[in-house]
Every structure is written in C-alpha cells, then in structure tokens.
C-alpha cells in the first residue's frame, strides 16, 4: 500500500487484498493524510456519528487523500471500545461511498490502534483490518517506556498478526519514548512497518530516517510539514488540515513534489498563523473551536481536556478570516 501525501487525522466530531505473511503488503497509501477530530454530542455522552460523516465528506471534497481516525487529535484515549468500532465503521464506509460518488478514487483509511498492552494493539489492529481499514497507525506503549528490544517485539507481534501496513508514530512528547532514527531503521526491517509519522521538532530527523531506512520506510511529517517536505518527507499527517484541508494539501505538494519554493512558502505563510491554535496544548480545543466558528460544531473535548477559552475565540476567528475561511453567521454574532 502506498500512501498519498496528504492525510488528515479525524476529530471525534478499499479495496482489501490478501497477502502472504512476511511480504510487503497492502495498497498504496496517499501522500497527504488527515487526522480527523471525532465529534461528540453536546453533552459529550456519545460520538456524533452523523457529524463524523459530514466531516469525512468535507475533508474528501476539499482534496484530502487519506484519513487517520483515532489518533491524538481524535481523542483516542477518551473513547470506549464500542465507540472505536463505530468510528472505524463510519469512516471506512463514508470514505468508500465518497469514492463511489465522485469517481475520484479510493481514499485510504488508517486507524489509530495504539495502546499500552501489545495484546490489545493486536486485537484493535485485527478489528480495523476486518472492518476494511487500509492500514493502522501505532504509537508506542506510552507508560511502560519500553526498551528498543521491547519495541521491536511489540511492532513485530502486531505486524505478524495483520495483513495491512503499519505507520509507526513517533511522538516522544506524549509517548515518553523517542524512536530515534537508528531504532526506526531496525523497525523498518519488519516487512509491513512501511511508514513513520515523525512528530518531533527536530527536522533533521527526516533526513536521518531517509538515509538509514532507504525505501523500507517512508517518512510522513507530523508537525513540521513545510520543513520536512524539503528533506525527504513524502507526506504530512496534519492537524491543521482538519480546518484548512485544501490549503494544507496544496502547500505540502508545492514543496515536496513541485519543488516550488516561492509557491510553497507563500502558502505556508498563509497557513502558519493557524498552527499555534491547533498545536501544543490547544490541538484539540483549538481545532474544535475553529470548527464551531466554521458552522461545523464538533462538540466540546472530553475531560480532562477543556474547550478553548472564550476570550481566545475572537483571535482565532480573525486568523481564520485572514486565511479566507468563512465564519458562520451564528458564530460571528456570538
């Protein structure tokens, strides 16, 4: 499976092939991937699946080439096992339906299946495959601080249990484990550990991973999309693409594939003011506040996360307006 360049991670608002174990397997993954938020109902008691459907349709209509639900932006630690299943079923189904209606081609779905217990990761990954996901994204166990040997065993155990590719997720700020380039080079020898989402703020990591892994593992930026594009990243798993999917996709493509510095830098400068609002401690609250301003209410974050402070909302609205994002009339009146 070869991923497209632009992917988004879903906010809690395919074509399956069979492969022999030990072979590289799966279909092409697009280059721009989106990590959707998962919309919740107003009281936070349930996932709003209808809002999730609308969100996936919006992202695909705006040019996103792949979806990664149940990541950090999707508050994966704050949903139940039953909600995970419903989210997976909904996103896979809607992505297929959109492809059928538009004729634009299938939009791959990679499900976040990270957990502390390797057995649970295996179970979640097997379920994702059974429900039609094209791959899985797996953050390391985030409490036990595993050694390199333990990490290799963890990922190999999952890889041996499924027939779809794995995107390894390096985010030491949240996982308490830093997958250094040398460690990723070792993980890349596992046949279907095909991709890495590199989410440190050290852009030279991209250079080093590319040098050590070669074509065994492709690099997707997790934070520094613009910078990583020039050092060999083939895609961007972008939080900002929740709110500005087309702009995010066009910026990364202009840098990574067109090598057009003037065009990509101009697009990046349009996008950059949004980044502090959907990064750091505000990556969930800021994104959900932006959706509310856009007239696409995704509900509030689940505790312990809190909504964006109301005093900060007007500043976010100004950033969106300066980017050309339309503010909903009701939101503007509040």
Look up 169 and say whether it is catalytic. yes
Among candidate residues 169, 195, 268, 283, the one labeled active-site is 169
Catalytic residue among 197, 268, 283, 288: 197
SS3 per residue for the chain: CCCCCEEEEEEECCCCCCCCCCCCCCCCCCCEEEEEEECECCCCCCECHHHHHHHHHHHHHCCCCEECCCCCCCCHHHCCHHHHHHHHHHHHHHHHHHHHHHCCCCCCEEEECCCCCHHHHHHHHHHHHHCCCCEEEECCCCCCCCCHHHHHHHHHHHHHHCCCCEEEEECHHHHCCCCCHHHHHHHCCCCCEEEEEECCCCCHHHHHHHHHHHHHCEEEECCCHHHHHCCCCCEEECCHHHCCHHHHHHHHHHHHCCCCHHHHHHHHHHHHHHHHHCCHHHCCHHHHHHHHHCCCCCCCCCCCCCCCCHHHHHHHHHHHHHCCCCCCHHHHHC
Q: Which residues are catalytic?
A: 169, 197
């Amino acid at each position: 499976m070869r991923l497209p360049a632009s992917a988004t991670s879903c906010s809690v608002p395919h074509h399956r092939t069979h492969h022999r174990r030990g072979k590289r397997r799966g279909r092409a993954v697009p280059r721009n991937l989106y990590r959707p938020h998962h919309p919740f109902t107003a009281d936070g008691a349930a996932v709003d699946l209808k809002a999730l459907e609308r969100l996936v349709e919006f992202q695909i209509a705006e040019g996103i080439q792949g979806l990664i639900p149940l990541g950090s932006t999707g508050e994966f630690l704050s949903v139940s096992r039953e909600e995970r299943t419903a989210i997976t079923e909904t996103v896979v189904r809607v992505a297929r339906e959109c492809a059928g209606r538009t004729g634009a081609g299938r939009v791959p779905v990679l499900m976040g299946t990270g957990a502390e217990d390797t057995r649970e990761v295996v179970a979640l990954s097997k379920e994702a495959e059974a429900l039609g996901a094209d791959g899985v994204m797996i953050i390391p166990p985030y409490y036990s601080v595993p050694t390199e040997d333990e990490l290799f065993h963890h990922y190999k155990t999952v890889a041996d249990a499924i027939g779809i590719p794995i995107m390894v997720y390096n985010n030491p700020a949240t996982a308490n484990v830093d997958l250094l380039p040398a460690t990723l080079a070792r993980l890349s020898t596992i046949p279907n550990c095909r991709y890495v989402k590199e989410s440190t703020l050290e852009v030279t990591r991209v250079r080093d991973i590319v040098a050590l892994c070669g074509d065994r593992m492709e690099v997707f930026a997790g934070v520094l999309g613009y910078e990583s594009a020039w050092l060999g990243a083939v895609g961007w798993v972008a939080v900002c693409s929740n709110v500005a999917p087309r702009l995010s996709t066009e910026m990364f493509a202009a840098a990574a594939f067109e090598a057009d510095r003037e065009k990509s830098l101009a697009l990046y400068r349009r996008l950059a003011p949004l980044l502090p609002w959907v990064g750091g401690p505000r990556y969930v609250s800021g994104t959900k506040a932006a959706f509310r301003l856009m007239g696409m209410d995704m509900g509030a974050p689940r505790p312990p996360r809190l909504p964006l402070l109301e005093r900060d909302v007007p500043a976010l609205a100004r950033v969106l307006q300066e980017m050309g994002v339309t503010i909903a009339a009701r939101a503007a009146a509040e």
